[in-house]
Every structure is written in C-alpha cells, then in structure tokens.
C-alpha cells in the first residue's frame, strides 16, 4: 500500500471513486455464473435497477464513459431490442428466487435522451416489465442538445422524478476546447425545457479546470446555473484520462488552478444555500434528496444494457469496457447479438472476498458527508473498522478525518482530498489488476 504521505504529495485529482472495485479490475469469469442462483441468495427487497444507453451526439474530449458517438440508426433500434430481451431474461432469473422489489432506478449513459421518444417509451416499458413499480425514485441523464420536450415528456411521464443534465460550462469556447460543440443558448433552452417538464429534482453537472477557464468565466457559469435553482449540482474537476482526446494530447490543468476553482465554486454554492454532500456533489438546503448516487447499501444493483454494472455482495459484473472508438463499437456489436443463454450469465467481473467487501463499504461510506457509521459496519461485518483497517488512524492524525464513538467522517480538508483518500484505500489486488489492465 502506498503511504498516505506519498499519496498526498501527488495530484489531488487522482481518480473519481464512484464505485469500488473499478471496472479495470474486472476480468473474465470462468466458468460463467448463472444469474438465477446468484441472485437467489441476495437481499432482494430494495434492489436498484440501472439501465445503460451507450450513445451520444459526440465524444467529448474528456470523457471515458462507455459510449459510442453518432451510431447508425438501425444499431440504436437493435440495441433497444436487445435491452428488452435482456430485461426479460434477467426478470426470469430473478423470479427463480421468489419475490423481489426495486427501491430505485436510473437510466444513464452516455446520453439516454439520445434515444427518440419512441425508443425511450420502449425503455420505460421494460422498466415496468422488470417489476420496478411506478413511484420508485428514478433518475435519467440528459444533455443540452437532446433535452427535447417530446423526449422529456416520455421521461417524466414514465416516472422519472430526477433529471440530470451535463452542462460542464456556459462558456462556448470552453466547451469547444474539449470537443463539445455546445452553445449557452442551447443550454438555457434545455434547462427551461426540463423545468417545464417538471421533475422534482434537477441536477446539473459542471466542470472546473477546463482549458482556458478562469475564475471570472467559472463565476459566469456558476451564476448562470444558479438562475435555475437546481436541487442538486455536481462540480467535477476535469480528469484527463487515457485514450480520450485530451489524454492523447497529454494536456492537463495544474492542481493549484483546479484547487482554487474548487474553493471558489464551493464557497459560492455554500453561500447560495447548498450543502456539500461529497467532493463533487452539492444539494440545495430544503431540497428533497434521493440520497447520494451510490451508497453502501446499494449492493443489490441490477444493470441492464451494454456497459451497465451489476453488484451482488460477493460479485460485481458487467460487459467488457473500452474507450477507443473501435473497442466500444466491437463490444456493443457483440453484445447485441448475444443469445438469451449468454444474457442469463455473468461472464466478466470481480469476485469480492470478505476483505474487499469491507473495503468497499468503508471507501464508499467515507467519501460522502455522512461518513462511516461504526455500528452499522460492525453489524454488517462482525468486526471493528479500526481493527480491520489500522491505517485509518493516519487520517485523523493529518486532520483529514474525525472519529467519535459513532462515526468516522472526513473533515472539510479530507473531503477536498477525497480523490486521494479513495484510491489510497484500494487493496493491493485491485491496484495490481488496474495497473495491468490494457485499455482499448
Ligand atoms: C453521462 S455524462 C452526463 C450526461 C450527458 N452525457 C452529457 O454529457 O451532457 C456524465 C458526467 O460526467 C462528467 N465527466 C465525464 N468525464 C469526465 C472527466 N474526464 N472529468 C470530469 N468530469 C467528467 C461530466 O460532467 C458529465 O456530465
Ligand atoms: S460527457 Fe456525456 S455527451 Fe460527452 S461523451 Fe461523455 S457521456 Fe457523451
């Protein structure tokens, strides 16, 4: 394990820990694991349904999400057809274990509203066919160009109560500099259209550290977004990732610039009445939250679609991952052709032993404002987090965390270093697998 001092000496924005283990630690599972028996042994009364739509109007220069820009129209229809087929297969596998219920749902991407209204309606039919009751909290991602009234009507009519839109910046030149040909006028139109469609929660993603971004232009972006009083805001530091256009140019923004922009953004949002939930996430005071996007209790995640991940307690699985155009295209093309039998097994993933399950719980709890509930950890694992992870004491000794008899929580300084603390807690196995992974 790297020492905390070494980790803190590196960049503050090492990687965004939104899941553990990272998908670059996944490998082929042999033999493949049948889904029926796998899910029969799980807690099934509060599952999370996630549907992935791996299509976008362009490939933004910073983005390494699993997505294909401007796919052929017939591919999109074929994709939606396989999604529906997979939903049927997975539903039957779940039924083998008896009763189950979904507590939350999300449709993400890529850009789900890249699908037209007819295709989106089919996706909502499959959400219902999977057994997600109307009224469960449901979030859907969109983009400025595709947040069109007819599509938003299907999304909200289908039961989504949260819409999350990627804006990144209200400054056209900053978007152009990262291969995102987006105009502020289009962003305003999209935000008005979402407010008109009326979901309870609007979330907006913004980015800091973009090429050419200054304190003044960042302020313009923040003031513009605040006009819409979003219930939630994500401020992402720009991460420059392998195989993205920015990654190939090896361009990056100095840490000190990003840190100053972080502090500026955080101060503005706190002054505007927002509460900081994690390094990236802010929620407006009084706004009803649907909770952090990932919480530790979310073991029961059923992912539908190519690129979607599924989590049981002891196994995380998905289809393969790529970033480059050819790699993504090949994976989607093969996935569409999968037989029902192939869709009924997990064949690529990561087996979490007892240590990895504890680490996952620890990392995901610690990185959000609620922190690690010591009693909940003990109840779940039958041991104390301090005994399992003696290195945690180092966090308190550096003022990165505080611990009382109930909770271990990051301090303000710790939250600002969440992208260092998360990877520092990775196991050696996960670290080694991530390092060996060959990205295509
Ligand atoms: C699925 S997208 C949001 C919806 C839609 N595709 C869009 O871009 O408008 C996920 C979000 O992740 C963030 N993101 C993706 N890659 C990033 C990177 N390299 N650095 C920082 N943020 C990133 C962006 O803010 C983006 O809005
Ligand atoms: S940021 Fe959004 S629109 Fe851009 S490539 Fe990534 S998923 Fe697609």
pLDDT digits (tens, 9 = 90+) for 392-420: 999 999 999 999 999 999 999 999 999 99
Q: What is the DSSP string of 121-148?
A: HHHHHHHHHTT--TTS-EEEEE-TTT--
Question: How do residues 338-365 score in pLDDT, each as one tens digit?
Answer: 999 999 999 999 999 999 999 999 999 9
Which residues, in sequence order, are CB contacts of 263 under 8 Å at separation 6+? none
Q: Which ligand is nearest to the CA of 166?
A: 1
Computed over every residue of the chain, the mean pLDDT equals 93
pLDDT score at 299: 73
Q: What would the two tokens of residue 85 be?
A: 């087929």
Closest CA to 203 of 127, 291, 310, 124: 291
Cα–Cα dist 79/73, whole Å:
10
Measured CA to CA in angstroms, residue 121 lies from 17, 63, 193, 306, 349 at distances of: 32, 27, 19, 19, 30
What are the tokens at 40? 């029969």
| C-beta atoms surrounding 129 within 10 Å | 12
Pocket probe mutation, ligand 1, options 236, 238, 258, 293, max atoms within 8 Å of Cβ? 236
Whether 209 lines ligand 2, by a CB cut-off of 6 Å, is: no
What's the token pair of residue 21? 């283990």
Q: What is the pTM of this model?
A: 0.95
Give the CA distances from residue 435 to residues 4, 205, 241, 357, 428, in Å, rounded to whole numbers and listed in that order: 19, 29, 14, 21, 10
- Residue 286, pLDDT score: 73
| Atom from ligand 2 closest to the CA of residue 110 | 7
Ligand 1 centroid from CA 166, angstroms = 6
Determine the pLDDT at residue 294. Answer: 43
User: To the nearest 5 percent, what fractions of the chain are helix, strand and coil?
Assistant: 40, 20, 40
Residues in the chain: 440
Helix (H, G, I), strand (E, B) or coil at 102: strand
DSSP labels for 19-36? SSS-GGG-EEEEEEEEHH
- How many angstroms separate the CA atoms of 325 and 315, rounded? 28
Low-confidence stretches of the chain (pLDDT < 70) are 250-253, 287-298
For atom 16 of ligand 1, which residue has the closest CA?
A: 63
From the CA of 377, how far away is ligand 2's center (Å)?
36
Per-residue pLDDT tens over the stretch 132-142: 988 899 999 99
């Amino acid at each position: 394990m790297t020492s905390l001092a070494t980790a803190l000496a590196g960049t503050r924005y090492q990687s965004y820990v939104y899941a553990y283990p990272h998908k670059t630690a996944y490998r082929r599972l042999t033999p493949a694991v049948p889904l029926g028996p796998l899910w029969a042994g799980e807690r099934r009364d509060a599952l999370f349904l996630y549907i992935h739509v791996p299509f976008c109007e362009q490939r933004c220069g910073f983005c390494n999400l699993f997505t294909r820009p401007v796919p052929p129209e017939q591919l999109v229809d074929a994709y939606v057809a396989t999604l529906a087929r997979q939903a049927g297969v997975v539903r039957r596998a779940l039924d083998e274990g008896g009763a189950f219920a979904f507590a939350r749902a999300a449709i993400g991407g890529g850009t789900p509203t890249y699908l037209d209204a007819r295709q989106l309606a089919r996706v909502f039919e499959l959400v219902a066919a999977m057994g997600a009751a109307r009224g469960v909290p449901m979030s859907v991602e969109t983009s400025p160009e595709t947040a069109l009234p007819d599509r938003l009507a299907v999304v909200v009519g289908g039961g989504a109560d949260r819409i999350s839109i990627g804006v990144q910046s209200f400054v056209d030149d900053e978007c152009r500099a990262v291969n995102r040909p987006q105009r502020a006028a289009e962003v305003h139109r999209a935000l008005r259209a979402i407010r008109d469609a009326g979901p309870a929660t609007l979330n907006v993603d913004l980015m800091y550290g973009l090429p050419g971004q200054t304190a003044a232009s960042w302020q313009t972006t923040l003031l513009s977004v605040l006009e819409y009083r979003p219930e939630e805001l994500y401020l992402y530091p720009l991460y420059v990732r392998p195989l993205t256009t920015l990654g190939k140019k090896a361009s990056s923004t100095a840490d000190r610039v990003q840190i100053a922009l972080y502090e500026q953004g955080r101060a503005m949002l706190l002054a505007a009445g927002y509460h900081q939930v994690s390094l990236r996430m802010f929620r407006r005071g009084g706004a009803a939250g649907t909770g952090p996007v990932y919480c530790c209790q979310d073991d029961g995640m059923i992912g539908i679609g190519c690129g979607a991940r599924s989590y049981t307690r002891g196994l995380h699985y998905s289809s393969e991952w790529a970033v480059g155009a050819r790699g993504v295209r090949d994976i989607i093309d093969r996935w569409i052709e999968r037989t029902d039998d192939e869709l009924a097994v997990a064949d690529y993933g990561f087996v979490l032993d007892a240590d990895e399950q504890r680490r996952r719980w620890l990392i995901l709890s610690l990185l959000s404002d609620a922190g690690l509930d010591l009693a909940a950890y003990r109840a779940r694992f039958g041991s104390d987090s301090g005994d399992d992870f003696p290195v945690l004491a180092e966090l308190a000794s550096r003022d990165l965390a505080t611990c009382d008899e109930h909770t271990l929580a990051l301090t303000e300084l710790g939250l600002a270093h969440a992208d260092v603390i998360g990877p520092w807690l990775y196991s050696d196995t996960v670290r080694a697998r991530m390092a060996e992974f060959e990205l295509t």
